[in-house]
Each structure stands twice: as C-alpha cells, then as structure tokens.
C-alpha cells in the first residue's frame, strides 16, 4: 500500500533555518491531510492539518501547503528548533467510513545547533 | 490538555495466548481507532469504532481480533490467539467526530512482544 509516500527518510537542518518535509499521495479520493510528529517511545502527536478545499494552513511556526494537481503536500517549519527533532508522518483520509488514516513512512528530522 | 492513555506500556505474551490491550480515549470523543506499527514499517489502520459498533476494519483485522467498549471510558483490543507476527506497537486513537476534519489524537502505544 503506497498511497502516501514520504520519499526522504531523513532531513538535517540547522537551528533557525527552514525545514521542509514533503509528502506525495496517489489516491485522489483523499480530502483531509494531517502531519504528526513522533518522539521515540511516544505516540504520534497531531501537528497541523489541511482540508482539500484549501491550499495553505498556518499555525505558528508550522505551515502546510497542498498542491492537489500534483498530489503533493509539504510541511514548513520556520524557524527550526532543536526540539523539533523527531519523526514526522504525513497522513491522509477520505470522508466517511470511519475516516481511517493512511500514513506515510515518516521523515526523521534532525535540527542541529 | 486531555490525552489518550494506553495500558500496559509493554506486554509480553506467549504465542497462542490471548491478550487484551486497553485504552482510555479522550472523554468527549465519540470515534475510536486502533492502529499498529510493526518495527521498521508504516503505521497501519486496524479498526474504527463508533456508537458501539465497528465502522471500518482493515484486512489485518481478522477473526482473531475484536474490539469492545465495555463501559463509558475504556476501549479494548483483544487478540484471541496471538502469533509471532502480531508483535508490534499498538496505538489507540480517538476523535471528537467523523468528518468536519477532526484530527485523531493518539496514545503512547502498547509494545506487544510475542514469544
């Protein structure tokens, strides 16, 4: 099941710079997209989401962009902080049917001092 | 901030034994979910539950699996006869309602180890 893909397994960024995490999807029925952050030994923590009727959603240092024609979304973190170091998962769902989430494989972000 | 709590954090069980994983969803949430993550693999959907019945289940969720909301607060996942391949992190999640773009909130998981 490769409906949601995160092609970069890892990303290293300097503190204060922008982190850009990417996600691609293949199922055109997806209409709600989410980003989760996960620390070791913890569950995924919800960060930010976007509906398919929008192309941008912003919350503090986090912005998610959605390009429906390219079936691509990205998460921008600016400025990046050392506490942002974690695995970031992209997830998607469709309306109805219990709204199950389909996850990507995750990108390990390391923010260096 | 309200959170989803899961117990135990780690469960070790002999193959063929029954195991029950427990979850307390966020109190005003109505939709409940179980996911699992086998080491090195994606987080995978198992089942969703609303109004005391299963809304959707994946191919993984076969007859060996069952879910129950035995009271107003707990949500459990039972595996009747565990197999080695059931070893994984199991995450419970809940959301306020379906649709209207409600995010699911996850617990910290139960690590299930089958020997």
Chain A environment of B61 (Cβ under 8 Å) = none
Q: What is d(CA B72, CA B90) in angstroms, rounded to the nearest whole number? A: 21
DSSP assignment string, chain A = --SEE---SEEEEETTS-EEEEEEE--TT--EEEEEEE-TTS--EEEEEEETT-SEEEETTEEEEEETTTTEEEEEESS--GGG-EEEEEEEE-SSTT---EE---EEEEEE-
Q: Return the pLDDT at B100.
A: 61
Chain A environment of B99 (Cβ under 8 Å) = 95-96, 99
Q: Return the pLDDT at A1.
A: 61
- Inter-chain CB proximity A103 and B43 less than 8 Å: yes
Q: What is d(CA A37, CA A107) in angstroms, rounded to the nearest whole number? A: 10
Burial of A97 (0-12, 13-18, 19+ CB in 10 A): exposed
Binned at pLDDT 50, 70 and 90, residue B46 comes out as very high
Contact, A108 vs A24, CB < 8 A? no
The pLDDT of residue B48 is above 80: yes
Q: What is the 3-state secondary structure (H, E, C) of A50-76?
A: EECCCCEEEECCEEEEEECCCCEEEEE
DSSP assignment string, B25-52 = --TT--EEEEEEE-TTS-EEEEEEEETT
Tokens of A103: 């996850």
Q: Return the pLDDT at A2.
A: 77
**Does residue B95 sit at the A interface (CB-CB below 8 Å)?**
yes
Chain B closest CA to A38's CA: distance in Å?
A: 10
B84: three-class secondary structure by DSSP: helix
B109: three-class secondary structure by DSSP: coil
Chain B environment of A101 (Cβ under 8 Å) = 33, 35, 43, 45, 104
- Inter-chain CB proximity B4 and A89 less than 8 Å: no
Q: Return the pLDDT at B28.
A: 87
The pLDDT of residue B2 is above 90: no
The pLDDT of residue B43 is above 80: yes
The 10s digit of each residue's pLDDT in B64-98 is 999 999 887 899 999 999 999 999 999 999 998 76
Chain B closest CA to A46's CA: distance in Å?
A: 6
- Inter-chain CB proximity A45 and B106 less than 8 Å: yes
Tokens of A32: 């709600």
Residues 6+ apart with CB under 8 A from B72: none
E-assigned strand segments in chain B: 5-7, 10-13, 19-24, 31-37, 43-50, 53-57, 65-68, 75-79, 88-95, 105-106, 110-114
* Closest partner CB to A100 (pick from B42, B48, B106): B48
Q: Return the pLDDT at B74.
A: 93
Q: Return the pLDDT at B114.
A: 97
Which residue of B lies nearest to A30 if distances are taken between CA atoms?
B101
Q: What is d(CA B23, CA B8) in angstroms, rounded to the nearest whole number? A: 9
In chain B, what percentage of residues exceed pLDDT 90?
81
Position with higher pLDDT, B40 vs A104:
A104
The pLDDT of residue B101 is above 80: no
Chain A closest CA to B115's CA: distance in Å?
A: 21
> What is chain A's pLDDT, residue by residue, as a tens digit (113 residues)?
679 999 999 999 999 999 999 999 999 999 899 999 999 989 999 999 999 999 999 999 999 999 999 999 999 999 999 999 999 999 999 875 458 999 999 999 999 99
Which residue of A lies nearest to B42 if distances are taken between CA atoms?
A105
* Closest partner CB to B43 (pick from A41, A89, A97): A89
**Does residue A46 sit at the B interface (CB-CB below 8 Å)?**
yes
Q: What is d(CA A91, CA B98) in angstroms, rounded to the nearest whole number? A: 16
């Amino acid at each position: 099941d490769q409906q949601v893909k995160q092609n970069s397994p890892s990303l290293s960024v300097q503190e204060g710079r922008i982190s850009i995490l990417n996600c691609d999807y293949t199922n055109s029925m997806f209409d709600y997209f989410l980003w989760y952050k996960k620390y070791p030994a913890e569950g995924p923590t919800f960060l930010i989401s976007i509906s398919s009727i929008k192309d941008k959603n912003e919350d503090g240092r986090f912005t998610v962009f959605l390009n429906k024609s390219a079936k691509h979304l990205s998460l921008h973190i600016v400025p990046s902080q050392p506490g942002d170091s974690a695995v970031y998962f992209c997830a998607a769902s469709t309306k109805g049917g219990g709204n199950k989430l389909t996850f990507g494989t995750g990108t390990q972000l390391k923010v260096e001092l | 901030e309200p959170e989803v709590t899961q117990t135990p954090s780690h469960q070790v069980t002999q193959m063929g034994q029954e195991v029950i994983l427990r979850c307390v969803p966020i109190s005003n949430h109505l939709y409940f979910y179980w996911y699992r993550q086998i080491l090195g693999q994606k987080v995978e959907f198992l089942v969703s539950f609303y109004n005391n019945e299963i809304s959707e289940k994946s191919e993984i969720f076969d007859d060996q699996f069952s879910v129950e909301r035995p009271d107003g607060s707990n949500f459990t996942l039972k595996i009747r006869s565990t197999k080695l391949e059931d070893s994984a992190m199991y995450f419970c999640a809940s959301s306020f309602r379906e649709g209207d773009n409600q995010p699911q909130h996850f617990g910290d998981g139960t690590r299930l180890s089958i020997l």
